[in-house]
Amino acid sequence: MLDHINIYNLLYIDIETVPAYAHFDELNKNMQLLWATKHEQLRHENETPNDGYINRAGIYSEFGKIICVSMGMFYKVRETGERKFRVKTFAADDEYTLLQDLSALLIDKFSDERFHFCGHNIREFDLPFICRRLLINGLTIPPILNIQGKRPWEVNDVDTLQLWKFGDYKHYTSLKLLAEVLGLPTPKDDIDGKDVCRVYWQEHNLNRIATYCQKDVITVARLLLKLKGEPELLTDSEIEII
C-alpha cells in the first residue's frame, strides 16, 4: 500500500499555535471588533468574545500565532545503512524569529522538488497557517510551501488524515484516536491540543509544548509506516532529538 510514497523524501511536520495575546482586551480596537464579528459565527451559548478568544482564536491565523514547529526526517547512516529519524524543533515567543529560522532552513536544505511535507491534517491547518503567518510577518514563502496555482493533483504533500479518509469528505479522525486503534504509542501522554494555550499563557512552559509537538511528529512518522504496511515500525532507538 502507498508504494509511491518515499519516506525519505518527506518532512514530517506539526505546529502549535495560540492566541496572539493572553487576553482579548490586549487586541487593538479594530481587531477587537473584527474578532467580535467572527465570534458571532462561532460562539457557544452564553460565551463572551473574551472567552471565545482564549478558547479558539489560536486556530485562526489572523488572530493567532505560531509558537512551535517540529519537523522530522528519515535518513540512513552512511556507514551502516541503519535507519534513523531525526527531529528538530523551532520554539519561541517571538514568532518572527521562529518563522525566519524555519524559512531559512527550508530554503537552504529543502528547495529540491523531491521534498514534500507529511503530517496529520496539514493541508487544512498546518501548512496554510504557516504560509499566512509568514506573509503577516513580512517573510517570503519558501518554495516547498508555495503551492499557489497548483492543481490539487499536483500537490504531493502527504496528509495522513486524508489517507485515512479513503475519499470520505465528512470524516475526521484525530491523531490520538488513530494511534490508539492502530496500536501505536500515544502522543498525548502529557498535554493535549486544548491545553496548549493554558500551558503557554498561564504556565509559560514552552519546553513542555515543544516536547508535545515533537511527539506528534514522531507519531505521524509511525502512522505513515503503518499505513504503508511497513514491517518495521519506528522504534525509540531510531529517534534523534536535536
At the topology level, CATH places domain 7-20+63-241 in Nucleotidyltransferase; domain 5 (3.30.420)
Give the cell for residue 172. 475526521
Each of the 242 residues of the chain gets a pLDDT tens digit; together they read: 688 899 999 999 999 999 999 999 999 999 999 999 999 887 677 888 889 999 899 999 999 999 999 999 999 999 999 999 999 999 999 999 999 999 999 999 999 889 999 999 999 999 999 999 999 999 999 999 987 766 665 678 999 999 999 988 877 899 999 999 999 987 667 788 889 999 999 999 999 999 999 999 999 999 999 999 998 899 999 999 98
Instruction: Give domain limits for the chain.
Output: 7-20+63-241
Opening angle at CA 217, ends 213 and 219, nearest 5: 110
- Three-state SS sequence of 37-69: HHHHHHCCCCCCHHHHHHHHHHHCCCCEEEEEE
100-123 pLDDT, tens per residue?
999 999 999 999 889 999 999 999
CA distance linking residue 1 with residue 3, whole number of Å: 5
**pTM of the entire predicted model:** 0.94
